[in-house]
Amino acid sequence: MSYAIEVCDLVKRYKTVTALDRVSFTIEEGEFFGLLGPNGAGKTTLIRILTTLIKPTSGRAVVMGLDVVKKRAEVRKVIGVLPQAMTSDLDLTGLETLDIYGRFYGIPAMERKKRIAQLLELVGLKERARDLVAAYSGGMRRRLEIARALIHMPSLLILDEPTLGLDPQSRHTVWELLRRFQDSYNLTILLTTHYMEEAESLCGRVAIIDYGKIVALDTVEGLKRMVPEKDTIELSITNIGLDRAEAWIKTLSYVHSCVIRDDTLMVSVDNGARMVPVLVDGLRGLGARVTRIILKEKTLEDVFIHFTGRPIREEESRKVSFLIGAGVPLKWSR
């Protein structure tokens, strides 16, 4: 079995920060792999090393069989990358952008034209292809950049927070697009994100990264299984006493615990979805009327909390130079 990506003991240190701390993992061809972590976890650093933009302090990374330090030029030819920031030129049109990038890869004119038409169609920008990117919405711009990353038909697509800053609707469009691309082009996809739902709805396997370390790696299901917390069903009932209901519930074999909190029964079970009808039917049988049900399934959030001891943070402020904004060399700032 050949690996699309093989990372071995990768370390990246900036002056005081260890952005990546002995990271190792492999991604097989055809996988949809997610790297989930909060801001500052080291996701972008890892992506930049894998895509030849920065050199690791130590360790090894091989992409499509090519060492990312020794074979930079070759690596660039076989990967398609969507950087975290929006990187399309505002004063070019969508069509020009794709054409120019096609030429950066040396794709002959005929093939380029065919490919561009196809991609524009797929990302839904055919109608707007001749408009300046400056006139695009954030979601459109992102879709154009995904098309751009695929212009040379790479077999590996690497996306750094593809839906960062997009509204929910655009986010779903992008997800749909990525699923479609993976199916029809047999792509291997590596995606980083700090959105739980994104990793959960797209990725086969997910690595959780925090402070430069991979703290867990498995399928979404597998990760959830590792977490001792269960699904929780909250029930509100009338007609019969809560005590009676509690006593009955506790006799059920799949139930781990049942407690009364205020006017609500909190039932902890392994598989919430399967237990809901059982509970409702049983309570009805006892003469109760169920007025409210809330099912709280385990999420990657719980997984994240389990492995890191805290919820995924939203924003971590980054120091910017006080001398001249972004103007001071990176060495001095941060």
Partner 1 sequence: MIRFLAVVERDLRKFLRNPLVILVSIVMPVVYLVILGNSLQGELRNITVAVVDMDRGPFADRVIERLYALQAGPGTIMLVRVADQGKAMEGLKSGRFKGVLIIPTDFSRDIMRGKNPELGLFLDNAETVSADTLRMAITGAIGEIERDFLPVRTRTSIPSVREVNLYKKVDYDQSLIPGVVIMAIFLGTMTTGAFNLVMDRFLGIEESYFLTPLTRYDIVMGLMVSGLIVTTVLALFVLFASSLISGIYLWKVLTLHGFVLLTVIIVLSTLGLLGLMFIIMGRINHPRIVGVLGGFLNVIFFFPSGAIYPVESFPWWLKGFAIVNPETYSVHALRAILFKGADIEAVKGDILFLSVFAVVALLIGILVFKRGL
Ligand X SMILES: Nc1ncnc2c1ncn2[C@@H]1O[C@H](COP(=O)(O)OP(=O)(O)O)[C@@H](O)[C@H]1O
Q: How far apart are CA 214 and CA 42, in angstroms?
A: 10
Q: Which two tokens stand for residue 106?
A: 């040396």
Output the smallest distance, CB 39 to Mg ion, in A. 7
Chosen from ligand X, partner 1, Mg ion, none, partner binding at 19 (C-beta under 5 to 8 Å by type):
ligand X
| Closer residue to ligand X (CB): 110 or 326 | 326
Q: Does 193 bind Mg ion (CB under 5 A)?
A: no
Binder among 17, 92, 217, 252 for partner 1 (CB under 8 A)? 92
Q: How many CB atoms lie within 10 A of CB 7?
A: 24
Whole-number Å distance between alpha carbons of 235 and 258 = 11
| Minimum CB distance to partner 1 smaller for 309 or for 329 | 329
Contact track, Mg ion, 24-63, x by CB under 5 A: -------------------xx-------------------
Alpha-helical runs (H) found in 150-271: 168-185, 196-202, 220-226, 242-250
For Mg ion, the closer CB: 14 or 104: 14
Asked whether the beta carbons of 89 and 99 are under 8 A apart, the reply is no
The residue count for binding ligand X (CB under 6 A) is: 13
Q: Choose between 48 and 224: whose C-beta lies nearer to partner 1.
A: 48
Cα dist from 4 to 25, 201, 206, whole Å: 11, 22, 15
Is 148 among the residues that bind partner 1 (CB under 8 A)?
Answer: yes
In this structure, are residues 156 and 80 in contact, taking their beta carbons and an 8 Å threshold? yes
Among residues 247 and 320, whose Cβ is nearest to ligand X?
A: 320
Both tokens of residue 18?
């260890």
Segment contacting ligand X by CB under 6 A, of 38-46, 147-155, 170-178, 298-306: 38-46
**138 by DSSP, 3-state: which?**
helix
Per CB under 5 A, contacts with Mg ion among 61-90 are 84
Binding site for Mg ion (CB under 5 A): 43-44, 84
